[in-house]
Amino acid sequence: MRSPSMLSRRSFVAAGATLLPFASARAQSPAMAKILVGFPPGGGSDVIARAVADQIRGNYAGTVLVDNKPGAAARIAAEAVKAAAPDGQTMLLTPAAVLTLYPHVYKELRYDPFKDFTPVTAVSSTQLAMFAGPAVPQKVTTVPELVQWLKANPKLGTFGSPALGSAPHLTGLMFGKLAGVELLPVAYQGAAPATLALLAGEVALSFGSISDGIEYVRSGKLRLLATTGEKRSLHVPTAPTFAETGFPDLVIEDWHSILLPAKAPAAVVARLHEAVRKAVATPPVQSTLNRFAFEPLANSPEDFARILRTEHERWARIVRTLKFSME
């Protein structure tokens, strides 16, 4: 279940026929473009989308707007992009789960991640983290100590996640299965309520993005016991990975990506990819990514398509192992 070369940080520039002269690319630029986001304003996806929009405005299109379409765990936004014309005016910025996890947990999904979209690039990556709150004794500071405590106190094994069927939710279930302990999941309406519940001692643990609890870790109110990356996160280098603590199969990384509707012309894909690649390299976008403990990416459409396929297959294995499904 190890990730592919997603995190190599290589930036690809489209070659061959997709490299149009600058004047021609400008002539074909749309007057207006929209980035659809499946979450309300203020969250990580929305903030990243607005940072990217600011940088590609005037470069890719004269006007670039962020259109928030929250609801149905971001599926509404994905469906809207699926139905849009493939002319480069409508794109989707989404976390990985919408494309890689949802097809395996929702019995009815109105889009196909491979047939209904054109991959452009991954914009950022992050790792998931396991946080321990005040319900876990302060002497528990490592994953082996946590497993020992959970086995000795099986009724106290609870964990929070931002949503039922989300990547953090299934990561928590997978950890319990691999560790041989019973963990009762508690799904909240978002990352903030899950973190507040952890701080209040309502649950013993919480699984989520590093950014969900990093400030509370720095203030000493929470403990970050492990992250799910292949390597330690640059944002919390003192926190070990699960692989380091004896769980080599618990390697899970999340990313935000940009896609166009299916059948988008190659020239449109190349032009948007180049604009986003340049945007990700700018200080404003990198500062935004850093604020949410994300690391910048800008891979080629072809490389991103391979990543999408690999991650889709990996989540299929996890869901089958857990025998999990959404009603």
**Token pair recorded at residue 31:** 């007057």
Assign residue 289 the CATH number of its domain.
3.40.190.150
- Is residue 91 within 8 A of residue 183, CB to CB? The reply is no
Is there a domain that residue 236 lies in?
A: yes
- Is residue 285 within 8 A of residue 93, CB to CB? The reply is no
Range of the domain at 11: 5-126+254-322
Instruction: For residues 197 and 279, state if they share a domain.
Output: no
> Could you read off the pLDDT of 5-46 as tens digits, one per residue?
444 443 433 333 344 444 344 436 789 999 999 999 988 899
- Walk along the chain (327 residues) and give the pLDDT tens digit of each residue: 444 444 444 343 333 334 444 434 443 678 999 999 999 998 889 999 999 999 999 999 999 999 999 999 999 999 999 999 999 999 999 999 999 999 999 988 999 999 999 999 999 999 999 999 999 999 999 999 999 999 999 999 999 999 999 999 999 999 999 999 999 999 998 889 999 999 999 999 999 999 999 999 999 999 999 999 999 999 999 999 999 999 999 999 899 999 999 999 999 999 999 999 999 999 999 999 999 899 999 999 999 999 999 999 999 999 999 999 886
Is there a domain that residue 145 lies in?
A: yes
**Token pair recorded at residue 313:** 């297959």
pLDDT of the residue at 26: 43
- Bridge partners of 92, per DSSP, are 36, 259
Is there a domain that residue 102 lies in?
A: yes
Instruction: For residues 231 and 120, state if they share a domain.
Output: no
Q: How many CB atoms lie within 10 A of CB 290?
A: 15
Instruction: For residues 139 and 170, state if they share a domain.
Output: yes
Q: Would you call 159 helix, strand, or coil by DSSP?
A: strand
**CA angle, 120 then 122 then 123, to 5°:** 115
Instruction: For residues 110 and 12, state if they share a domain.
Output: yes
> Could you read off the pLDDT of 183-207 as tens digits, one per residue?
999 999 888 999 999 999 999 999 9
27's enclosing H/E stretch is helix 22-27
What is d(CA 92, CA 118) in angstroms, rounded to the nearest whole number? 10
- Is residue 304 within 8 A of residue 121, CB to CB? The reply is yes
Q: How are beta strands 90-95 and 253-261 bridged, if at all?
A: antiparallel
pTM of this structure: 0.85
Residue owning tokens 């945007």: 279
Instruction: For residues 87 and 173, state if they share a domain.
Output: no
Is there a domain that residue 327 lies in?
A: no
Assign residue 195 the CATH number of its domain.
3.40.190.10
Instruction: For residues 112 and 170, state if they share a domain.
Output: no
- Tell me how many domains the chain contains: 2
CA–centroid distance for 249 within its chain: 19
- Bridge partners of 67, per DSSP, are 36
Instruction: For residues 136 and 236, state if they share a domain.
Output: yes
